[in-house]
Structures are given as C-alpha cells and as structure tokens.
Amino acid sequence: MKTLTIKKLDVVSVANFAAVLAAAVVAAEVLISWLVALVNYAQLSAHFPNIVSWNTGFGVLAIILLPALAAVAGWIGGAVVAWFYNVALGGSNGIKIEVEE
C-alpha cells in the first residue's frame, strides 16, 4: 500500500466531472419519466380516442433542455465545492488516501 495526500483539487476538472454526472442523471430521469408518460397516454387514449397529446412536444423539449440545465448547475456546484475544499484544506496537511500499485 502506498499513501498519497490530496493537497488541492483542480476546480475546473471537478466542475467538468460534476456537470457530466448531473447531465447523465437528469437525462436518465427525464427519459424514464417520458416513457412512463407515454404509456399512461396510450392507456388514456384507449378510453378517450379524441384526446390530443400536446404534452409529447414538451417531453422532447425536456429531454434536450433539462440535462443541459443540469449540466450548468452541476458545473457551478462542482466548482463551488472544489473551491471550498481548497480553501478548507489551505491550513491543513490535506487528505491522505491509500492506493495499491
């Protein structure tokens, strides 16, 4: 085992990782929600054949827009957390981790 010490985080690197992670999670959630909504609409339209699905367009918009917004929010959040981490560890000896070679 080898002991390493994390003294500082690269703010942009952490922010980029947080942005990708947030966008992926929100994209999965939106896709699942949209599929559930489509199944519900299919069941509803079987009983009410004259109903019009205007919500489908909003679902397509959500698949594009919400992950992009989540990526922006994730990037900002990741940058803030990394900055706070760097400030908090400024007066300490860092965080020690053990790794195997």
Give mean pLDDT in consecutive 10-residue pieces for the chain, a chain of 101 residues: 90 97 94 82 71 64 90 97 90 86 80
CA distance 67 to 17: 14
DSSP string, 19-64: HHHHHHHHHHHHHHHHHHHHHHHHHHHHH-TT----HHHHHHHHHH
**Is the Cα torsion angle 42, 46, 47, 48 positive or negative in sign?**
positive
Q: Say how many C-beta atoms besides its own lie within 10 A of residue 6's C-beta.
A: 11
**Per-residue model confidence (pLDDT) at position 84:** 93
84, 39 in Cβ contact below 8 A?
A: no
**Per-residue model confidence (pLDDT) at position 91:** 75
